[in-house]
Chain A
Amino acid sequence: MSQSGTTPAATPAKTAVQLRGLGELFERVGILIVLLVLIALITIVERLANGTAYFLSIENFSNIARQIPWQAPLALGEFLAILTAGIDLSVGSVLALAMMSTVIAAHAGVPAIPAMLIGLAVGAACGAVNGLALTRLRLPHPFIPTLAMVYIARGLTNLLSNGTPILRVPWEFRVLGAGNVCLFTFECTPTSLRIPVPFIVVVLLFVGFGIFLTRTRTGRHIYAVGGNPQAALYSGINVNKILTLVYILSGALAAVGAILLAGRTNSGEPQAGVGTELVAIAAVIIGGASFFGGRGNVFGVFIGLVIMGVIGNGLNILGVQPFWQQVAIGVIILLVATLDVVRRRTNRT
């Protein structure tokens, strides 16, 4: 009966639905298109300007895959916070504190794996403080507790280390942070295709969190809290528990970044991760998550990280002054955020 009823109004309604469908499609793959355009542009400019094709080489991809990893877990944690319409400013400082804790533990004779677990526990504990401050003290916005944690964690890091780096970490850290797996050959030869271990760690982490967010109840509840906290509450979801969990996960993920970075730099560095929270936020926003919460996916965040890596690496190869990288990243943030606003507006018809 509604079939006949809708015929007169069908045309405009149908196009509106199609437009919205396009919007959803863009939300899924749009960011991939941005990445491909970027790669094509850099390749063409390199060919025209230098006459080379290094950017597209496997060796260079391996470079990019080495540059991204330690920041990737931080971006993932940041994504969880932004998914609930929150933010975690403390990921960089928590990374430093977790890094220092795990390296100090290792130097004190704790075996590598338990030392890593100590780092993870420190990160998770920082996140728990963030989450509990938000939900129990009822602070108005996660900006406040995580801003406090920026200073607390950084200060504790410097207290622990007297402000000086600690050199050398156990080999297990080195494997995770700087190791390579070579395809097709057991021993790595100069010609074999090297896949960085940290890159594999990051891919596994993203796949795992992708499954967690889309297939488990808790994952769906995180999206629900971000989409409409009132609705989540009415549905019997413990919103405070979800929020606390999100910040605990963000802290623990910062610690994963800390382990990878310690392995990569073969040290514990008290100034590590300064400003990295902004890199993480940028990757999340470029990756299509919305600051209003409830929108985005881990695939987008991953592509966001790759885009930032590709910009840095590509402009480098083109011999562009590094400062232009920052300008380029800023412009892309503006572009992607504008797209998000436009999309929201078309949904509000």
Chain B
Amino acid sequence: MMENASQPPLIELRGISKYFGPVRALENVNLVVNRRQVVGLVGDNGAGKSTLMKILTGAYQPTFGEILLEGRPVHFASPHESRLAGIEMVYQDLALAGNLSIAANIYLGREPIKRQWGLFRFMDEKRIENGSRELLERLKINIPNVKARVENLSGGQRQSVAIARATAFNAKLVIMDEPTAALAVKEVAKVLETVLNLRAHGVAVILISHRMQDVMSVADRIIVLYEGAKVADLERSKTNLDEIVAYIVGSKGSAAQARAVAEG
């Protein structure tokens, strides 16, 4: 908030806690994402990354805490509501229908309609195809034929289509959960390039990844969760791999310290 006086941050999570019965999944997490920013969210398995993102997209409701979108408090009852507000999630398991074309997937669930003889409501196939082509071009994703079926694409191409799909409709924030986990090395670079292209188009990105080299290469800021608490929030230019790994494994900055920081 301080760094940009004229505008509130795009997304601000304040004091988010989530309890599942006696289990504390998240404890008083604060998080800010600004426009045109790639934020890497890292942490060991079970550190709370996915839970935090599910709260942000409305899949879970926080036990305590609030979410501010562009300075206004918001309540997302479902992922559908957060999507309408401009927050898109790219799922790890590639939520695409292989039997449909690239264009059909990009517009799935929001196909534009044109009326035929004033009677039938048909899909506007031209707009779907042209829109898809323009979108892929804008993100510099090199796929020649938007009519090709998704099942005939490589893993990296599919991931790129999934990202393009997430950003097709004025997304302000795109959350990516392990976008590079299942990819060949050659394809990882393409996906990371797409992340940077998103930022260049004014979209903010939260990148969840186990691959530290990916996070280090594209993130502007890196946030580390440890046992449900935020233990580090670092500018990439002022940190290094060793420091981040130390935070992830808990040898630097304990959860208790983090609580002290958050309260102070």
Contact = CB atoms under 8 A, between A and B. Distances in A.
Contacts of A226: 99
A227 to B, nearest CB: 4
Contacts of B255: none
A231 B111 contact: no
Given A20-B152, A230-B95, A231-B95, A223 B100 contact: yes
B104 A234 contact: no
Contacts of B113: 217
Contacts of B122: 215-216
Interface string B147-179: 001011000000000000000000000000000
B97 interface: yes
Nearest to A228: B97
A228 B100 CA distance: 10
A227 B98 contact: yes
B109 A228 contact: no
B96 interface: yes
Interface string A1-18: 010000000000000010
A179 interface: no
Select the residue from A215, A221, A235 with max chain B CB neighbours within 10 A. A235
A194 interface: no
B95 A17 contact: no
Nearest to B152: A20
Contacts of A20: 152
A230 B152 contact: no
How many chain A residues sit at the interface, stated as a range, is 20 to 34
B110 interface: yes
Interface residues of B, number: 27
Select the residue from B93, B109, B152 with max chain A CB neighbours within 10 A. B109
A228 B98 contact: yes
B99 A235 contact: no
Nearest to A9: B186
B80 A220 contact: no
B234 to A, nearest CB: 32
Contact of A347 (B93, B108, B125, B152): B152
Contacts of B111: 217, 220
A226 B97 CA distance: 9
Given A231-B108, A232-B97, A235-B95, A215 B123 contact: yes
A6 B100 CA distance: 25
A232 B97 CA distance: 8
Contact of A237 (B83, B108, B120, B152): B108
B152 A232 contact: no
A59 interface: no
Given A228-B95, A234-B95, A220 B151 contact: no
A182 to B, nearest CB: 30
Interface in A198-253: 215-217, 220-221, 223-224, 226-228, 230-232, 234-237
A314 interface: no
Contacts of A231: 95-97, 105, 108
Interface of A: 2, 17, 20, 24, 215-217, 220-221, 223-224, 226-228, 230-232, 234-237, 294-295, 347
6 contacts: A2-B142, A216-B123, A224-B100, A228-B95, A234-B91, A235-B108
Interface of B: 79-80, 83, 91, 93, 95-100, 104-105, 108-111, 113, 120-123, 125, 142, 149, 151-152
Leading 4 A-B pairs by shortest Cβ distance: A235-B109, A227-B99, A227-B97, A294-B99
Given A228-B95, A230-B95, A235-B110, 14 more contacts: A215-B120, A215-B125, A220-B100, A220-B108, A223-B97, A223-B99, A227-B99, A228-B97, A228-B98, A231-B108, A232-B97, A237-B108, A237-B109, A295-B99
